[in-house]
């Protein structure tokens, strides 16, 4: 074969191979694009469409906004409204009793503190006595102890470790009181109220959203004239947990309501008896103590404890009304509807009242049971992202994020579990980012309702009664201070703090 014929044959063969390879490349690209279009693009567009038509949950309670100074501090005027003179007399006698009790509990603590300073007594004795005083004085002081337990930057680690037991070791109330609350009849919605609800509902072009509104109205009408026990098939009389404000029972839903299917396990939260009277009396006693202290100690007024007690009172008010917690949970679910790995219980608004909250029971391991190690970097990143989103994006911050209110839910598949045991593929320190949902090993994990693959571990947030929303002025001040600290400009941060103090 001549050289020209060989070159012509080689060129023809190369062109044919190039055409086959090009056709294969175009075909594979088309198939990949179609697969991405069907499995990624279309579901994401559907999620965006659903987000666009999603309605902001409607609040039934007033939302407290920090820094507004609206006078919604103490609970006294709300508690004593339309009460008899006899009740008022007994209430103020009870306030005096709580003040005297606080004084007699404080004096031994002071002497123990003196003995500790003189090295005549062990610190642990003082810490145990302080925890005992908080537990005996009731919910207001238990909340104070719980806050102290989460601040090892202010208090010693030994004290924080002792006070951590206040998260769960609260004495529960009797089943008789719980049954009394559960047997309270829900009011029947009148025709006039239903017409007002129709006018207040925003119009929407989405057929699905309008159908949901109609369904919810029908469920609300069915609730009237019944009690909570009517909608429960089972309930455990022994509480699974008891906090400072309320205790929780486990139950099973009998009928579908508010989108929660029948047979769902529920957590029923019931406030303790006379909790509002006790908290109000404690706050009034603290206010009187601060007033006396400001009059006796000249420099005490510069601590601005009056504003602090008003702030603390306003936050406690939200926990004494479980309707507020129901509204907060719905708002959190709306804010985090697009965030993977952050979960909140699903409430049943139609069955909730100021003394009763029904929500889905969420399984998980308490965060306080986990050790601080590099294996849990994924949870730290998830929690940090959650808090910063609440703070800067939503301006709706969960103010009671102690470890007892956070659960860790694991979504490992059987394959992942085997790999973790063999330690051959999954390296905990490298796989701790918790965001890989595309690997073959993650394909067997369960999915969210919108089709997205779940993360390896998720955070479940509970007890959303305490929520802080900053006013525009307070929020701008905080963001400016945060930016100064993040940039390492201490002088600017100090100037901002002094400027805010002068204005106040």
Q: How confident is the model at residue 249 (pLDDT cuts 50, 70, 90)?
A: very high
HEC sequence for 67-123: CCCCCCCCCHHHHCCCCCHHHHHHHHHHHHHHHHHHHHHHHHHHHHHHHHHCCCCCH
- Asked if residue 302 has pLDDT above 90, the reply is no
3-state per-residue secondary structure call for 148-196: HHCCCCCCCHHHHHHHHHHHCCCCCCCHHHHHHHHCCCCCCCCHHHHHH
Name the DSSP class of 349: G
The per-residue pLDDT for 502 is 60
The whole-number pLDDT of residue 157 equals 83
Dig out the tokens for 63 from the structure.
Answer: 């939302």
Residue count (the chain): 504
Q: Could you report the per-residue pLDDT of 316-366, keeping only the tens digit for each?
A: 777 888 999 999 999 999 999 888 889 999 999 999 999 999 999 998 888
Query: What's the token pair of residue 310?
Result: 């008003």
Top-confidence residue, 15 or 255: 255
464 against 429, higher pLDDT: 464
Q: Regarding beta strands 467-470 and 342-343, do their DSSP bridges make them parallel or antiparallel, or are they unpaired?
A: unpaired
Confidence bin at 403 (pLDDT 50/70/90): confident
Q: What is the pLDDT of residue 460?
A: 92
Residues 301-320 have a mean pLDDT of: 75
- Report which of residues 215 and 63 the model is more confident about: 63
DSSP E strand boundaries for 372-446: 397-398, 406-410
Poorest-pLDDT segment among 2-6, 184-188, 303-307: 2-6
Q: What is the helix (H) or strand (E) element at residue 480, kind and residue range? A: helix 472-486
pLDDT band (50, 70, 90) for residue 415: low
Confidence check: pLDDT of 6 > 70:
no
* Residue 424: pLDDT band with limits 50, 70, 90: very low
Under 8 Å between Cβ of 217 and 197: yes
Q: What region does 343 belong to: left with phi over 0, alpha with psi -120 to 50, or beta?
A: beta
Most confidently modeled range among 4-8, 71-75, 482-486: 482-486
Q: Residue 251's pLDDT band (boundaries 50, 70, 90)?
A: very high
What local confidence, expressed as pLDDT, does residue 280 receive?
A: 85
Give percent of the chain above pLDDT 90.
Answer: 15
The span from the CA of 472 to the CA of 463, in Å, is 26
Q: Rounded to whole angstroms, how far apart are CA atoms 470 and 478?
A: 9
- In this prediction, residues 147-159 reach a mean pLDDT of 78
Q: Is the pLDDT of residue 429 over 50?
A: no
pLDDT at 209: 40
Task: For 90-145, write each residue's pLDDT tens digit.
Answer: 888 888 888 888 888 888 888 888 888 888 888 888 888 988 888 888 888 888 88
Q: What is residue 215's predicted lDDT score, i.e. its pLDDT?
A: 41
Distance set, CA 486 to CA 183, 280, 447, 480 (Å): 53, 39, 37, 10
H or E stretch including 40?
none
- Mean per-residue pLDDT of the chain: 77
Short-list 321, 330, 319, 485, CA closest to 396: 330
Task: Give the separation between CA 334 and CA 450, rounded to whole angstroms.
Answer: 15
pTM: 0.74
**For 159-182, how does the pLDDT look when each residue is reduced to its tens digit (9 = 90+)?**
888 888 887 667 888 999 999 999
- The pLDDT assigned to 9 comes to 62
HSE at residue 473, side-chain half, CA atoms within 13 A, is 9
Please give the pLDDT value at position 221: 42
Grade residue 10 by pLDDT with cuts at 50, 70 and 90. Answer: low
Residue 450 has pLDDT above 90, yes or no: no
pLDDT tens digits, residue range 65-77? 665 554 444 555 5
Phi, psi angle pair for 7, to nearest 5°: -65, -40
Query: 406 CB contacts (<8 Å, ≥6 apart)?
Result: 366, 367, 383, 459, 460, 461, 462
318 CB-near residues (< 8 Å, 6+ apart) = 64, 324, 325, 328, 465, 466, 467
Q: Chain-centre distance of CA 406, in angstroms?
A: 8
What local confidence, expressed as pLDDT, does residue 454 receive? 66
- 139 within 8 A of 275, measured Cβ to Cβ: yes
| Mean pLDDT value across residues 434-439 | 52
Residue 235 predicted with pLDDT over 50: yes
Write out pLDDT tens, residues 19-54. Answer: 777 788 888 888 888 887 777 777 777 766 666 656
Query: Tens digit of pLDDT for each residue in 190-200?
Result: 545 555 555 55
Q: What is the pLDDT of residue 443?
A: 52
Region of 271 on the Ramachandran plot (φ > 0 left; ψ -120 to 50 alpha; else beta): beta
> Averaged over 307-320, what is the pLDDT?
76
For residue 237, what pLDDT band results from cuts at 50, 70 and 90? very high
Distance CA 35, CA 32 (A): 5
pLDDT at 182: 93
Q: What pLDDT score does 238 carry?
A: 92
């Amino acid at each position: 074969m001549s050289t020209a014929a060989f070159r012509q044959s080689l060129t023809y063969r190369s062109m044919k191979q190039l055409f086959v390879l090009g056709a294969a490349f175009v075909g594979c690209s088309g198939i990949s694009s179609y697969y991405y279009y069907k499995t990624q693009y279309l579901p994401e567009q559907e999620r965006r469409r659903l987000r666009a038509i999603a309605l902001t949950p409607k609040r039934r309670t007033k939302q407290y906004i920090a820094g507004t100074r609206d006078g919604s501090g103490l609970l006294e005027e709300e508690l004593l409204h339309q009460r008899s003179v006899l009740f008022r007399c007994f209430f103020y006698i009870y306030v005096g009793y709580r003040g005297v009790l606080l004084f007699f509990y404080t004096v031994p603590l002071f002497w123990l503190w003196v003995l500790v300073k003189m090295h005549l007594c062990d610190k642990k004795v003082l810490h145990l006595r302080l925890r005992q005083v908080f537990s005996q004085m009731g919910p207001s002081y238990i909340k104070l102890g719980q806050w102290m337990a989460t601040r090892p930057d202010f208090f010693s680690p030994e004290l924080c470790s002792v006070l951590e037991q206040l998260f769960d070791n609260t004495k529960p109330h009797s089943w008789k009181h719980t049954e009394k609350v559960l047997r309270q009849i829900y009011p029947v919605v009148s025709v006039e109220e239903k017409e007002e609800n129709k006018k207040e509902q925003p119009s929407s072009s989405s057929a699905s959203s309008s159908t949901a509104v109609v369904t919810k109205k029908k469920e609300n009408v069915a609730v009237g004239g019944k009690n909570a026990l009517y909608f429960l098939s089972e309930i455990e009389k022994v509480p699974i947990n008891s906090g400072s404000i309320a205790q929780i029972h486990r139950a099973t839903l009998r009928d579908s309501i508010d989108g929660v299917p029948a047979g769902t396990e529920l957590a029923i939260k019931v406030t303790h008896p006379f909790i509002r009277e006790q908290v109000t009396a404690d706050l009034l006693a603290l206010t009187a103590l601060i007033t006396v202290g400001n009059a006796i100690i000249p420099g005490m007024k510069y601590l601005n404890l009056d504003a602090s007690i008003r702030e603390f009172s306003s936050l406690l008010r939200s926990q004494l009304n479980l309707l507020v917690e129901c509204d907060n949970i719905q708002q959190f679910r709306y804010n985090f509807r697009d965030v993977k790995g952050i979960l909140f219980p699903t409430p049943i608004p139609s069955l909730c009242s100021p003394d009763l909250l029904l929500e889905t029971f969420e399984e998980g391991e308490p965060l306080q049971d986990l050790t601080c190690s590099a294996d849990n970097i994924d949870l730290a990143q998830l929690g940090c992202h959650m808090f910063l989103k609440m703070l800067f994006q939503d301006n709706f911050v969960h103010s009671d994020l102690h470890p007892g209110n956070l659960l860790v839910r694991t979504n490992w598949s059987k394959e992942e579990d085997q790999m973790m045991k063999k330690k051959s593929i999954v390296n905990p320190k490298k796989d701790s980012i918790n965001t890989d949902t595309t690997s073959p090993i993650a394909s067997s994990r369960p999915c969210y309702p919108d089709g997205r693959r779940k993360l390896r571990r998720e955070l479940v947030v509970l007890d959303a009664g305490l929520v802080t929303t900053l006013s525009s002025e307070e929020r701008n001040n905080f963001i400016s201070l945060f930016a100064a600290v993040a940039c390492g400009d201490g002088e600017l941060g100090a100037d901002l703090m002094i400027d805010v103090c002068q204005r106040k």
